[in-house]
């Protein structure tokens, strides 16, 4: 509908735009009239300031084009206020938009709307409290997640620091090995120093030899002295030859070391490093239950519940807990009726834990229902009992009974759950569920049981 610019209701000001609307007078007021209107009624009347767009201002008048009369009726069909023109059977221009709807005077729905408002207020009060608590919990979760994130980073850094330190240590060791291997193999450093002295030594020996040869011509020189000088020169020659031989040996050494780093092995190592470490979402096995909380218990159910889907998780949404909500069967039905895909968990006084799953919607109509996907289970045996016998019912629902899995794999009868001590389980022949090895197997061989706790969850697969 197009926006409507209202004019002042005073005939003398009919061409002046209205700036407010009086709910009691049901008139539009311009800036010239507003002061007089306020003085007359001393703020006892409700005046609504108008913008150019008056469609969002409630004036008590119908805003349909060309209507502008009081909203005196209620369209039940559209849950909307309307005026006499809206419900007329004579349709022209914008009239008669609700002529075929279910209509009543607004007085007829006053109590209904007022009571509904009270319920809405209660719901809003609860919602307000829940939202405040939710915000606190969300902030706590965010804080915990940030702490976990930082702890995870620190853990990754520690691991890679160890790897880097190990690589650095290996590098240092190999470098030391290089020094050691070369030093052990090439140990002739003193030969090089002696070789550097050879030219002088050869020259000195040569000069000495020539001198002795000249002295030998002189018969006055003692022969023993000359022979001693000859021996010294011979020793020098032997030492020089020995050094030369060792030098030649050094020259002939062709020993080389290699760093054995096979390219294939290096590539494999680099690939392993690239794949090293994996960031995975940790699966938290959490369930709001006073009966079970062990990983293997939840896995037993989850594996069966998600067997038809890949990479699926089962969410356990608590509908009813007897110790919290009350152990009356009527309360159980109030909390659970209309809910499908449910698991019932029972903990007995004697410590047995068992239950059942059904896709049939819980209801208060006394009847047996078939469900090929239903099963019962025992946590004491860590065993699932399924394989519904052909043409047999899986569950029974009744307004006065608790959960019953036929016939009767287990049954919670029409008494207060905690006070009654003869709830029953069936024999392997009676039960409609197969693969039981002995009678009353899910209750440790006993027919009757008393309930310590009973919980019902709706299962959501995602």
Q: What angle do CA 145, 149, 153 make, to 5 degrees?
A: 170
Question: Could you tell me if 341 and 417 lie in one domain?
Answer: yes
Question: Could you tell me if 80 and 128 lie in one domain?
Answer: no
Whole-number Å distance between alpha carbons of 378 and 334: 27
**Predicted local distance difference test score (pLDDT) of residue 16:** 93
Bigger pLDDT: 442 vs 286: 442
The number of distinct structural domains making up the chain is 4
Give me the mean pLDDT over the 413-424 stretch: 93
Residue 371 near residue 390, CB atoms below 8 Å: no
3-state secondary structure the chain: CCCCCCECCCHHHCCCECCEEECCCCEEECHHHHHHHHHHHCCCCCEEECCCCCCCCCCCECCCCCCCCECCEEECCCCEEECHHHHCCCCCCCCCCCCCCCEEEHHHHHHHHHHHHHHHHHHHHHHHHHHHHHHHHHHHHHHHHHHHHHHHHHHHHHHHHHHHHHHHHHHHHHHHHHHHHHHHHCCCHHHHHHHHHHHHHHHHHHHHHHHHHHHHCCCCCCHHHHHHHHHHHHHHHHHHHHHHHHHHHHHHCCCCCCCCCCHHHHHHHHHHHHHCCCCCCCCCCCCCCCCCCCHHHHHHHHHHHCCCCCCCCEEEEEEEEHHHHCCCHHHHHHHHCCCCCEEEEEEECCCCEEEEEECCCCCCCCEEECCCCCEEEECCCCEEECCECCCCCCEEECCCCCCEECCCCEECCCCCCCCCCCEEECCCCCCCECCCCCCCHHHCCCCEECEEEEEEEEEEEC
Give me the mean pLDDT over the 385-399 stretch: 89
Strand order in the sheet with 73-75: 80-82, 73-75, 103-105
Question: Could you tell me if 317 and 457 lie in one domain?
Answer: yes
Range ranked top by mean pLDDT from 9-13, 46-50, 158-162, 447-451 = 447-451
Domain boundary among 93, 108, 123: 108
Residue 340 has pLDDT above 60, yes or no: yes
Give tens-digit pLDDT for 15-44. Answer: 999 888 887 788 889 999 988 888 888 777
Is residue 329 in a domain? yes
Residue 222 has which token pair? 């003692």
Question: Could you tell me if 148 and 115 lie in one domain?
Answer: yes
Give tens-digit pLDDT for 239-284. Answer: 878 877 776 666 655 556 676 666 777 778 888 888 777 776 555 5
Range ranked top by mean pLDDT from 62-71, 274-283, 437-446 = 437-446
- pLDDT band of residue 309 (cuts 50, 70, 90) is very low
Is residue 175 in a domain? no
Residue 249: Cβ-neighbour burial (10 angstroms; 0-12, 13-18, 19+): exposed
Question: Could you tell me if 409 and 450 lie in one domain?
Answer: yes
In the chain, % of residues over pLDDT 70: 88
Average pLDDT, the chain: 84
**Predicted local distance difference test score (pLDDT) of residue 370:** 92
Is residue 284 in a domain? no
Is residue 278 in a domain? no
Domain boundary among 233, 252, 271: 252
Q: Is the peptide bond before 407 cis (omega within 30 degrees of 0)?
A: yes
Strand order in the sheet with 314-321: 314-321, 451-461, 342-348, 353-358, 375-378, 383-385
Q: Which domain holds residue 240?
A: 189-252
Is residue 21 in a domain? yes
Residue 422 near residue 412, CB atoms below 8 Å: no
Question: Could you tell me if 354 and 422 lie in one domain?
Answer: yes
Q: Which residues of 401-414 are buried (b: 16+ CB within 10 A; e: fewer)?
A: bbbbbbbbbbbbbe
Is residue 135 in a domain? yes
Residue 440 near residue 426, CB atoms below 8 Å: yes
- pLDDT band of residue 457 (cuts 50, 70, 90) is very high
Question: Could you tell me if 325 and 453 lie in one domain?
Answer: yes
Give tens-digit pLDDT for 142-196. Answer: 898 899 889 989 988 998 898 899 889 988 998 888 888 777 665 556 666 777 7
Question: Could you tell me if 353 and 422 lie in one domain?
Answer: yes
Give tens-digit pLDDT for 346-372. Answer: 999 999 999 999 999 999 988 999 999
Question: Could you tell me if 239 and 306 lie in one domain?
Answer: no
In the chain, % of residues over pLDDT 90: 34
- pLDDT band of residue 107 (cuts 50, 70, 90) is very high
Is residue 140 in a domain? yes
Is residue 379 in a domain? yes
Question: Could you tell me if 197 and 215 lie in one domain?
Answer: yes
């Amino acid at each position: 509908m197009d926006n409507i610019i209202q004019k002042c209701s005073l005939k003398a000001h009919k061409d002046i735009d209205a700036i407010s609307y009086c709910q009691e007078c049901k008139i539009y007021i311009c800036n010239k009239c507003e002061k007089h209107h306020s003085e007359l009624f001393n703020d006892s009347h409700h005046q609504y300031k108008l913008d150019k767009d008056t469609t969002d201002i409630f004036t008590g008048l119908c805003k349909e084009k060309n209507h502008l009369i009081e909203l005196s009726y209620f369209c039940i069909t559209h849950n909307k206020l309307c005026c006499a023109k809206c419900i007329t059977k004579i349709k022209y221009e914008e009239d008669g938009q609700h002529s075929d709807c279910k209509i009543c005077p607004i007085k007829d729905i006053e109590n209904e709307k007022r009571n509904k408002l009270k319920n809405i207020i209660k719901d809003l009060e609860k919602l307000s409290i829940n939202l405040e608590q939710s915000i606190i919990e969300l902030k706590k979760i965010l804080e915990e997640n940030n702490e976990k994130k930082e702890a995870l980073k620190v853990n990754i850094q520690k691991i890679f620091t160890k790897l880097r330190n190990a690589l650095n240590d290996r590098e240092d060791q190999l470098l030391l090995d290089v020094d050691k291997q070369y030093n052990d193999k090439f140990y002739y450093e003193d030969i090089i120093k002696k070789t550097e002295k050879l030219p002088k030594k050869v020259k000195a020996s040569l000069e000495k030899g020539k001198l002795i040869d000249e002295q030998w011509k002189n018969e006055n020189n003692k022969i023993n002295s000359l022979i001693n000088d000859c021996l010294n020169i011979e020793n020098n020659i032997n030492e020089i030859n020995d050094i030369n031989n060792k030098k030649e040996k050094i020259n002939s050494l062709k020993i080389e070391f290699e760093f054995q780093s096979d390219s294939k092995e290096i590539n494999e190592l680099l690939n392993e490093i690239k794949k090293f470490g994996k960031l995975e979402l940790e699966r938290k096995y959490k369930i709001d239950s006073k009966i079970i909380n062990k990983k293997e218990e939840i896995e037993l159910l989850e594996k069966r519940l998600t067997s038809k889907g890949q990479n699926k998780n089962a969410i356990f949404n608590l509908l009813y807990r007897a110790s919290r909500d009350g152990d009356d069967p009527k309360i159980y039905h109030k909390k659970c009726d209309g809910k499908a895909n449910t698991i019932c968990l029972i903990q007995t006084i004697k410590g047995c834990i068992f239950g059942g799953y059904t896709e049939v919607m819980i209801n208060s109509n006394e009847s047996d229902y078939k469900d090929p996907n239903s099963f019962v289970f025992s946590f004491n045996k860590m065993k699932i009992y399924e394989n519904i016998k052909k043409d047999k019912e899986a569950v029974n629902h009744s307004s006065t009974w608790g959960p019953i899995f036929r016939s009767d794999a287990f049954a919670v009868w029409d008494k207060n759950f905690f006070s009654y001590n003869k709830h029953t389980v069936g024999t392997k022949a009676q039960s409609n569920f197969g693969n039981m090895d002995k009678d009353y197997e899910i209750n440790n061989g006993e027919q009757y049981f008393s309930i310590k706790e009973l919980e019902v969850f709706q299962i959501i697969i995602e």
